[in-house]
Amino acid sequence: MTKERNHVVHDGNCARVCPICGSANSRMVRTIEGSYLGIDNDHTIIEHISICNDCGFIFAAPTLAEDEFNSYYNDTLPTFEAHESYSVPKRLKVLSDYIDDTKLIAEIGGNAQGEFKEALMSRCRKYYSFDVNQTANNNSDEEDIPVVDVLCCYFVMEHIVNINEFIDKWSEHLKDDGIFVVEVPDLNVYYRETNPLCLTEHVNHFTPESLSLLMLKHGYETVGFSRFDCSRTFGFVSVFRKTGARSENPAADRLKLAAVLDGFRLTDGLAAVDEQMLKLNEFAERVDSQMKQPGRKVLLWCANDMMREFLDAYEKRFGTFSGLIIDEDKRKADYYRSYKAHTSADAENAKMLEGITDIYIFSDIRLRVESVCRTIKERKLQKADICYISQRWDIIKTDTD
């Protein structure tokens, strides 16, 4: 006999003060409905998004009671794991400064996270995980978690109604001077990543500044921040040290925090530049290994700054580039003269392409590559490899048709 499914509409009416400044003075700006499939029931959660009139924090108010959220999570979380995706290397990179085989680490909300959990277990003295959800696997009981050196919490805090109690409770499990690593969705990128906003179980909408202010209230200083190193594209990671020093002048602290976070933003930009250079060099290596194969010829499309950058990197390591560079714009015929590369301004010159080129590399997917590909196919050069490169030197697609 099948149990009857119900459609449960959760529209909370629990008043909620601003978790950061404690003000009861907030204005509701929008109501969003989200529907979710549970194991036993279908759920609709109605979220009322409000802005604190005193500090600007954005949070759900009024909202559901914690009990109602818990019964919803117990029905829906077991179905959630299938679409989990995050970068394990990024999480480990951030943690690597703080862990070694003498350290104890506890993950809050670490519901049976395979590869990440294994990696932590081999890098620390002991790894504990705790999830409030009763259906979570491999859980430690809260009272079994001792005082640890490092706490980490990935994409959990945006779900917690009683966030101040949550931080207080877990602070008791962290040693003085211990490290608390937190990842949450970033309000700053909601304009392009709407999921965290549309997921109506989210009751806190953080910016790097508001999370730092919240943590400062509980005696934590911000010692790290990155979007680049966050394990998901729509969030940020912040690293806090438990100092015990709480904010006495939130307005002044907010200004100080903004400056600290700006410094970390520059670090992020520089890390992205470094990564780009690494990829460019890997790409140059790849092209060179293709060119070294007997009879293989490489063609670069087109004559732009990106390909100039590529030639600089290539010629520094491998000497003169012996492939072809093609551009439709005849004015660019001599664009690469100083690089001693072969340049043609006429892609439609069939003799130029036919039979002499095996690998085509397009430096920008926005170019009119379709017409070029058609030309290649019409010339019956199907055996040629085609490769698209993004502006950050990612190989977007290779195509051996």
Residues that bind Zn ion (CB under 5 A): 18, 20-21, 23, 52, 54-55, 57
Query: Is the distance from CB of 334 to CB of 342 less than 8 angstroms?
Result: no
- The set of residues, in sequence order, having a beta carbon less than 8 Å from that of 290 and lying 6+ positions away, is 296, 298, 359
Q: Is the Cβ of residue 21 or residue 119 nearer to Zn ion in the bound state?
A: 21
Residue 248's contacts (CB-CB under 8 Å, 6 or more residues apart) are none
Judged by CB, which is closer to Zn ion: 17, or 345? 17
Please answer whether residues 192 and 233 qualify as being in contact, where contact means their C-beta atoms are separated by less than 8 angstroms.
no
Whats the size of the chain, residue-wise?
401
Shortest distance in whole angstroms from residue 217 CB to Zn ion:
11
**Structure token digits, residue 138:** 């491999």
Question: CB of residue 146 vs Zn ion: minimum separation in angstroms?
Answer: 34
CB 205 within 8 A of CB 52: no
Q: Which is nearer to Zn ion, 55 or 60 (CB)?
A: 55
Residue type, position 141, single letter: D
Q: Quick one: 23 or 349, whose CB is closer to Zn ion?
A: 23
CB of 27 to Zn ion, least distance (A): 12
Q: CB within 8 A of 161, min separation 6: which ones?
A: 14, 16, 60, 63, 64, 65, 66, 69, 203
Instruction: Report angle CA 72, 185, 82 to the nearest 5 degrees.
Output: 50
52 or 179: CB nearest Zn ion: 52
- Smallest gap from Cβ 65 to Zn ion, in A, equals 21
Residue closer to Zn ion (CB basis): 52 or 182: 52
Of residues 217 and 227, the one with the C-beta less far from Zn ion: 217
* Minimum separation from the CB atom of position 205 to Zn ion (A): 12
Q: List beta partners, residue 220.
A: 242
How many Å apart are CA 162 and CA 168, to the nearest integer?
Answer: 10
Q: How far is the CB of 61 from Zn ion (least distance, A)?
A: 11
Output the DSSP codes for 39-69: SS-EEEEEEEEEEETTT--EEE-SB--HHHH
Q: Are 75 and 43 in contact (CB under 8 A)?
A: yes
Which among 65, 67, 64, 58 is positioned nearest to 18, based on CA atoms?
58
What span, in angstroms and rounded, lies between the C-alpha atoms of 376 and 301? 13
Q: Which is nearer to Zn ion, 54 or 66 (CB)?
A: 54
Between residues 55 and 306, which has the closer beta carbon with respect to Zn ion? 55
CB of residue 57 vs Zn ion: minimum separation in angstroms?
Answer: 5
**Are the beta carbons of 300 and 326 closer than 8 angstroms?**
yes
Give whichever of 18 and 359 is closer to Zn ion, judged by the CB atom.
18
Closest distance of CB 20 from Zn ion, Å: 5
In the complex, minimum distance from the CB of residue 401 to Zn ion, in angstroms, rounded to a whole number? 57
CA distance 280 to 394: 8
Closest to 244 in 3D by CA, of 206, 267, 216: 216
Q: Sort strands 148-154 and 298-301 into parallel, antiparallel or unpaired.
A: unpaired
Q: Exposure of 172 by Cβ count < 10 A (0-12 exposed, 13-18 middle, 19+ buried)?
A: exposed
Shortest distance (Å) from residue 52 CB to Zn ion: 3
The smaller minimum CB distance to Zn ion, of residues 55 and 387, is found at: 55
Residue in 179, 109, 105 with CA at minimum distance from that of residue 148: 105
Instruction: Give me the least distance between CB of 55 and Zn ion, in Å please.
Output: 3
